[in-house]
Amino acid sequence: MTAIQDTHIPNHEAGHADDHHHEHPSWLAHHFDDAEQQFDSGKLGMWLFLVTEVLFFSGMFCAYALYRNRNPEVFEFCSSFLNEKLGAINTGVLLFSSLTMAWAVRAAQLRQHQLLVGMLGATLGCAAIFLGVKSVEYSHKWELGLLPGRFYVPQIEGHHGAHHGYLEMLCIVPAIVTVLCAAYAVFSWAIKSTFHQQVSGPLLTAALCFFVGVFLGQYLEAQEEATKGHANHHEHHMSVQGHIDHDSHDHAAASDTHEHDHGSAPAPVAAVASSGGSSDVYVDSKELATPKPNVNKSTMAGLFFSIYYCMTGVHAVHIIGGMIVISWLIVKAARHEFHEQYFGPVDNVGLYWHLVDFIWIYLFPLLYLIT
């Protein structure tokens, strides 16, 4: 090697003579050379994180595709239990929250601090509405016994939609959060701090939005039941139960051969041993009342609801995670921290939020709109 490149790493004391900031501003981490490097690093990091999210969800999409392909009729039947209207409303809400989030990024870049707080608050509110509607959907399904996998016990007897108070249970945490936000809002008005008012206002609004979502969901759910009618639903249910019935033998056989094939050496022994021990978990009291062949029918449908709960549940967890980071952004925005050199956090949380929207864009037609 003849030519050793004597390029020197610019160090911060000497190398930045031609740069604009002679010292690091507070928003620039010490190990970055300049604002753009910091921004690029954060953004690439966030895109990589989104890659992991995409692959994370792909597992569930894989399970979905596999079982839908094997049992299209089960998926079609089960999908009829999902309320399209609620799904569509939630899609709209999420799309709107994506709009406000994208707008928030713009506001951060243009130093529109008030608008930024407003847009972030709107995003947070939409997220809360989404969760409110989702709670209505979940609790409604639980009351119908439409639970995942081995707990799937559809209530095909008369007491359609028996009240178990699931919705109230789901509302407990949001209610506590609302009370805390309200207390914080009162506190912020009492001490007349603009900063605290700017933070507590959006938080309280968003917390209340959850209940808006709950009422919206309940209203639409009631409307749906009024139009469809119970009898109609039942008829549908019963007919498809029969529809699945002729498959059940195949499936039972399949599952048995399966177990036979794939159990590694110790597995079959243990499987037999544990089927006695843990059977009380599998056999619900309601299931006892129904004849034996029903078990297989219900497991087929239960599989759909397993996938439904896994996908929407993990998605909802992501929404909640997003709400926490958006709240953090609201605090920073109320402190007027963002400007055209430092808006990375808003941009990156935005990317995350759009990805959550992105996932829902696929979940909605795949789960709700099977015909």
Q: Footprint of another protein on residues 89-108 (CB under 8 A)?
A: 91-92, 95-96, 98-99, 101-103, 105-106
How many residues in total does the chain contain? 371
Q: Which two tokens stand for residue 233?
A: 């639903």
- Phi, psi angle pair for 165, to nearest 5°: 75, 20
Q: Which two tokens stand for residue 258?
A: 């399966």
Which of 307, 329, 333, 346 binds another protein (CB under 8 A)? It is 307
Stretch binding another protein (CB under 8 A), from 129-137, 160-168, 169-177, 264-272: 264-272
Q: Which is nearer to another protein, 43 or 236 (CB)?
A: 43
Would you call 280 helix, strand, or coil by DSSP? helix
Q: Which is nearer to another protein, 210 or 360 (CB)?
A: 360
Q: Counting contacts by CB under 8 A, is residue 325 touching another protein?
A: no
Q: Which is nearer to another protein, 44 or 169 (CB)?
A: 44
Which of 8, 22, 159, 192 binds another protein (CB under 8 A)? It is 8
Q: Which is nearer to another protein, 191 or 265 (CB)?
A: 265
| N-to-C CA span, the chain | 69
The interface mask with another protein, positions 217-256, x = CB under 8 A, is --------------------------------xxxxxxxx
Size of the site for another protein (CB under 8 A): 131
Q: How distant, in Å, are the alpha carbons of 123, 199, 238, 282 from that of 67?
A: 35, 46, 22, 21
Which of 164, 263, 286, 328 binds another protein (CB under 8 A)? It is 263
Task: Tell the smallest beta-carbon distance from residue 10 to another protein (Å).
Answer: 7
Which of 162, 179, 222, 267 binds another protein (CB under 8 A)? It is 267
CB atoms within 10 A of CB 292: 7
Which of the residues 151 through 180 are near another protein (CB under 8 A)? 151
Q: Which is nearer to another protein, 25 or 158 (CB)?
A: 25
Asked if 118 and 205 touch (Cβ cutoff 8 Å), the reply is: no
What is the spatial distance between Cα 70 and Cα 67, in angstroms, rounded to a whole number?
Answer: 5
CB atoms within 10 A of CB 170: 20
Q: Which is nearer to another protein, 44 or 173 (CB)?
A: 44
What is the spatial distance between Cα 288 and Cα 18, in angstroms, rounded to a whole number?
Answer: 80
Q: Which two tokens stand for residue 367?
A: 């789960």
Which of 24, 43, 160, 236 binds another protein (CB under 8 A)? It is 43
The answer to whether the Cα torsion of 346, 351, 356, 362 is positive or negative is positive
| Burial tier of 290 (Cβ tally within 10 Å: 0-12, 13-18, 19+) | middle
Stretch binding another protein (CB under 8 A), from 148-156, 177-185, 193-201, 227-235: 148-156
Asked if 123 and 101 touch (Cβ cutoff 8 Å), the reply is: yes
Q: Which two tokens stand for residue 278?
A: 């843990």
Stretch binding another protein (CB under 8 A), from 135-143, 174-182, 212-220, 305-313: 305-313
Which of the residues 45 through 64 are near another protein (CB under 8 A)? 45, 47-63
Provide the residue type at 116 as one letter: L
What is the spatial distance between Cα 272 and Cα 263, in angstroms, rounded to a whole number?
Answer: 11
Which of 24, 27, 28, 70 binds another protein (CB under 8 A)? It is 70
Q: Which is nearer to another protein, 194 or 278 (CB)?
A: 278
Which of the residues 332 through 371 are near another protein (CB under 8 A)? 339-341, 343, 347, 350-351, 354-355, 357-358, 361-362, 364-366, 369-371
